[in-house]
Amino acid sequence: MTTTVQCPTCGAPVEWKTENPYRPFCCERCKLIDLGAWAAEEHAIPGNDLEDEMFSGDLPTRPH
């Protein structure tokens, strides 16, 4: 029995199997749309603000 999931981009049903090179996406187009959203910072993994502030002082400053 093959597991079916929804494409995160368009919601189309996707068979979760090794032969599907785009899983969990239904096609290359949906995969690239999602990649573009990450590149545009529309998606983000939540972090710990306090931890980010604690360690940001460890980074050297760079002239712009």
The model's pTM: 0.65
Residue 23 lies in a domain: yes
**pLDDT tens digit string along 6-60?**
999 999 999 999 999 999 999 999 999 999 999 988 888 876 666 556 666 666 6
Residue 41 lies in a domain: yes
Residue 30 lies in a domain: yes
Output the six-digit token pair for 63.
Answer: 């002239």
The pLDDT of residue 2 is: 84
| CATH number where 35 lies | 3.30.50.10
What is the domain count for the chain?
1
3-state secondary structure of 56: helix
27 is in an annotated binding site: no
Range of the domain at 14: 3-53
Residue 58 lies in a domain: no
Q: Which helix (H) or strand (E) holds 50?
A: helix 49-56
30 is in an annotated binding site: yes
10 is in an annotated binding site: yes
Residue 64 lies in a domain: no
3-state secondary structure of 61: coil
